[in-house]
């Protein structure tokens, strides 16, 4: 950010927030030091007037008018949330009341807004409440892409064929997404899928090649990273390949587990599935029906817009959080047209959907990928979708339905056995499993997967070339939008 490039990247924004955070700490420390001289009621009044005038009226209008906030509320917000107005208020207070330490409430509020919440002044061209503008999303993506190393492109159809032949990971379809880079070596049939965050190359789901070629690809990739001054890490590495990574100088820690359901003998009969059957019946009695887009009902622009609206509503319900990425799929993330989408329909309207993508290797079949629903969808809607999808997969002779990877859950000493593992990462993952539900809802995911009584719980690993440092996990979580 400078005088002619008046925009901010994630890093410059973070640095700005850190500066305000330092000023916030100083303000709080000064206030606490003089706490016996602080009058509480004036302190609260001076702290609160900024939002009482500048934020609350606009927040009420935002909800009342469904996001279309009149311009006056932007004016009020910017009038109350700037240091010039704060200075005038402080001078007036000193003149008409008296100079006192209660005035620190103003600074604590403004510094807290800018550091803890990242709030600055508001433009009427943007949403009153924080909602990322599509143009800014495009800018962020372009900035991110500009930092990436050039990817060695593979024809998507050929890449799918290589993955189908050599891939042994149920989540490998995610490696075919357009935003995932590939590393190849001339004369070697295979590739390494990765994402470059500008400092570290993160491998996704391991090496896709014949067993005898995997070491050659990994050696080349490590050298490729060194040449371009990048570190190397990897997520969702299976146990069979984790040993190779350890041999090549990686620390290997179990990060979580993936879950697989065997379809050949699966049935919802029996006591274990009583609660699940009841939820499915409730949705069916409420008038919910399930159809596959492009097979049972037409898959056109109208239907795609319904799916997009469900995603928008789903995100809004979660407080407009960012969509997870990297280790999570996306609709039409590539041009292969291999995904299958089953939708719940009520009153001729799509109210929820689950997407399924191909899975490869030992548990070849389908992977349960995206799950989205409207807030007012009847209870049991998602379970009904999955039950109907399972019935169709079984009728087609499919053997497995994979539920994908859940990080920070199911880590245990029987599986986290690699001698190279990082004790620091082991403690961090244990902490996140116990207390990290706000960062990543692992328990909710596992509870849903266990409803279906999966037959296999397979460990997956996080690997770091050299020595693990806390920044590797932070970078991964930023890459996935978990932070």
Read off the CATH number of the domain in which 473 is found.
3.40.630.30
Give the pLDDT confidence score for residue 1 in this predicted structure. 61
Residue 151 has pLDDT above 80, yes or no: no
104-120: pLDDT as tens digits: 999 999 999 999 998 98
200-221: pLDDT as tens digits: 999 999 999 999 999 999 999 9
245 and 296 co-located in one domain: no
List strand residue ranges (DSSP E) for 143-284, in order. Answer: 181-183, 190-196, 200-204, 208-209, 231-238, 250-262
Q: Give mean pLDDT, residues 23-35.
A: 96
Determine, yes or no, domain membership for 312: yes
70-88: pLDDT as tens digits: 999 999 999 999 999 999 9
Give residues with Cβ within 8 angstroms of 36, minimum separation 6: none
283-334: pLDDT as tens digits: 999 999 999 999 999 888 888 888 888 888 887 776 656 656 667 777 777 8
119 and 152 co-located in one domain: no
- Burial tier of 198 (Cβ tally within 10 Å: 0-12, 13-18, 19+): middle
Q: How confident is the model at residue 244 (pLDDT cuts 50, 70, 90)?
A: very high
CA 470 to chain centre: 19
Give the pLDDT confidence score for residue 148 in this predicted structure. 77
Determine, yes or no, domain membership for 160: yes
Which is it for strands 250-262 and 200-204: parallel, antiparallel or unpaired? unpaired
Give the pLDDT confidence score for residue 302 in this predicted structure. 86
Cα–Cα distance for residue pair 459/410, rounded to 1 Å: 8
Determine, yes or no, domain membership for 358: yes
Give the pLDDT confidence score for residue 483 in this predicted structure. 66
Q: How confident is the model at residue 8 (pLDDT cuts 50, 70, 90)?
A: confident
Cα–Cα distance for residue pair 120/397, rounded to 1 Å: 57
Give the pLDDT confidence score for residue 147 in this predicted structure. 74
Q: Give mean pLDDT, residues 388-402.
A: 96
Q: Which of 131, 154, 182 is the last residue of a domain?
A: 131
Sign of CA dihedral 418, 442, 429, 247: positive
Portion of the chain with pLDDT greater than 70, in percent: 97
185 and 223 co-located in one domain: yes
Supply 385's token pair: 């979708």
Q: Which of 131, 165, 181 is the last residue of a domain?
A: 131
235 and 196 co-located in one domain: yes
Instruction: Flag the least confident range among 112-121, 123-132, 269-278, 390-399.
Output: 123-132
Comparing 135 with 266, the larger pLDDT belongs to: 266
Cα–Cα distance for residue pair 183/462, rounded to 1 Å: 19
Determine, yes or no, domain membership for 138: no
Neighbours of 329 (CB within 10 A): 21
The answer to whether the CB of 371 falls within 8 A of the CB of 382 is: yes
Residue 9 DSSP SS3: coil
Cα–Cα distance for residue pair 196/150, rounded to 1 Å: 10
Determine, yes or no, domain membership for 294: yes
40 and 84 co-located in one domain: yes
Average confidence score pLDDT of the chain: 90
Q: How confident is the model at residue 2 (pLDDT cuts 50, 70, 90)?
A: low
Determine, yes or no, domain membership for 5: no
Cα–Cα distance for residue pair 178/335, rounded to 1 Å: 8
The residues that bridge with 192 in the sheet, in sequence order, are: 183
Q: Give mean pLDDT, residues 438-454.
A: 86
Give the pLDDT confidence score for residue 317 in this predicted structure. 75
Q: How confident is the model at residue 455 (pLDDT cuts 50, 70, 90)?
A: confident
Cα–Cα distance for residue pair 278/281, rounded to 1 Å: 5
340 and 313 co-located in one domain: yes
The answer to whether the CB of 306 falls within 8 A of the CB of 349 is: yes
Sign of CA dihedral 157, 158, 161, 163: negative
Give the pLDDT confidence score for residue 198 in this predicted structure. 85
Give the pLDDT confidence score for residue 7 in this predicted structure. 74
Give the pLDDT confidence score for residue 48 in this predicted structure. 96
| Domain range enclosing 243 | 145-256+413-437+457-479
Q: Give mean pLDDT, residues 433-448.
A: 83
111 and 155 co-located in one domain: no
Instruction: Flag the least confident range among 141-150, 401-410, 420-429.
Output: 141-150
Of all residues in the chain, what percent are helix, strand and coil, respectively (each to 5)?
A: 45, 20, 35
Residue 351 has pLDDT above 90, yes or no: yes
Determine, yes or no, domain membership for 276: yes
Comparing 10 with 157, the larger pLDDT belongs to: 157
Residue 37 has pLDDT above 60, yes or no: yes
99 and 168 co-located in one domain: no
Which is it for strands 200-204 and 190-196: parallel, antiparallel or unpaired? antiparallel
Residue 291 DSSP SS3: strand
Give residues with Cβ within 8 angstroms of 45, minimum separation 6: 105
The residues that bridge with 461 in the sheet, in sequence order, are: 237, 254
151 and 102 co-located in one domain: no
231 and 285 co-located in one domain: no
Give the pLDDT confidence score for residue 4 in this predicted structure. 66
Supply 193's token pair: 């899928």
Number of H helices, E strands in the chain: 16, 12
Cα–Cα distance for residue pair 30/265, rounded to 1 Å: 68
Give the pLDDT confidence score for residue 12 in this predicted structure. 84
| Angle, vertex CA 362, rays to CA 357 and CA 365, nearest 5 | 30
211 and 289 co-located in one domain: no
H or E, element range at 400: strand 400-407
Comparing 291 with 2, the larger pLDDT belongs to: 291
Cα–Cα distance for residue pair 258/347, rounded to 1 Å: 36
Q: How confident is the model at residue 478 (pLDDT cuts 50, 70, 90)?
A: confident
Comparing 400 with 154, the larger pLDDT belongs to: 400
H or E, element range at 357: strand 349-359
Q: How many domains does the chain have?
A: 3
Cα–Cα distance for residue pair 440/427, rounded to 1 Å: 17
Determine, yes or no, domain membership for 450: no
164 and 181 co-located in one domain: yes
Supply 12's token pair: 């410059």
Instruction: Flag the least confident range among 3-7, 139-143, 257-261.
Output: 3-7
Residue 140 has pLDDT above 60, yes or no: yes
H or E, element range at 42: helix 40-54
Q: Which of 96, 131, 166 is the last residue of a domain?
A: 131
Q: How confident is the model at residue 362 (pLDDT cuts 50, 70, 90)?
A: very high
């Amino acid at each position: 950010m400078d005088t002619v490039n008046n925009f901010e990247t994630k890093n410059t924004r973070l640095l700005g927030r850190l500066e305000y955070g330092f000023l916030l700490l100083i303000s709080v420390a000064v206030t606490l030091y003089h706490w016996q001289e602080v009058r509480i009621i004036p302190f609260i009044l001076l702290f609160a007037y900024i939002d009482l005038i500048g934020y609350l009226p606009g927040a009420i209008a935002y909800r009342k008018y469904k996001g279309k906030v009149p311009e006056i509320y932007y004016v009020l917000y910017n009038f109350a949330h700037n240091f010039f107005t704060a200075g005038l208020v402080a001078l007036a207070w000193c003149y008409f009341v008296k100079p006192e330490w209660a005035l620190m409430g103003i600074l604590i509020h403004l510094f807290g807004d800018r550091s803890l919440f990242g709030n600055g002044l508001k433009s009427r061209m943007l949403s009153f409440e924080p909602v990322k503008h599509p143009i800014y999303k495009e800018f962020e993506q372009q900035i991110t892409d500009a930092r990436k190393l050039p990817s060695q492109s593979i024809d998507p159809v050929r890449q799918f064929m290589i993955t189908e032949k050599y891939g042994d990971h149920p989540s490998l379809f995610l490696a075919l997404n357009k935003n995932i880079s590939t590393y190849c070596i001339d004369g070697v049939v295979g590739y390494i899928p990765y994402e470059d965050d500008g400092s570290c190359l993160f491998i996704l789901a391991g090496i896709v090649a014949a067993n005898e070629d995997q070491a050659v690809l990994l050696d080349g990739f490590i050298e490729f990273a060194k040449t371009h001054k990048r570190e190397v890490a990897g997520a969702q590495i299976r146990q069979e390949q984790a040993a190779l990574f350890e041999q090549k100088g990686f620390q290997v820690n179990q990060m979580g587990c993936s879950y697989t359901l065997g379809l050949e003998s699966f049935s919802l009969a029996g006591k274990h599935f009583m609660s699940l059957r009841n939820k499915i019946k409730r949705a069916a009695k409420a008038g919910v029906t399930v159809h596959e887009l492009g097979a049972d009902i037409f898959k056109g622009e109208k239907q795609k817009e319904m799916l997009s609206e469900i995603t928008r509503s789903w995100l809004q319900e979660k407080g407009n959080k960012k969509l997870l990425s990297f280790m999570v799929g996306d609709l039409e993330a590539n041009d292969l047209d291999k995904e299958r989408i089953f939708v719940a329909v009520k009153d001729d309207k799509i109210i929820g959907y689950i997407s399924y993508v191909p899975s490869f290797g030992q548990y070849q079949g389908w992977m349960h990928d995206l799950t989205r629903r409207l807030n007012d969808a009847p209870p049991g809607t998602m379970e009904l979708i999955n039950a109907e999808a399972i019935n169709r997969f079984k009728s087609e002779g499919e053997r497995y339905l994979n539920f994908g990877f859940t990080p920070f859950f199911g880590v245990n000493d029987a599986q986290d056995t690699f001698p190279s593992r990082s004790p620091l990462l082991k403690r961090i993952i244990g902490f996140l499993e116990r207390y990290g539900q706000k960062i990543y809802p692992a328990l909710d995911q596992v509870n849903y997967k266990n409803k279906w009584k999966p037959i296999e719980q397979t460990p997956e690993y996080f690997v770091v070339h050299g020595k693990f440092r806390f920044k590797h996990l932070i970078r991964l979580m930023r890459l996935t939008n978990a932070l």
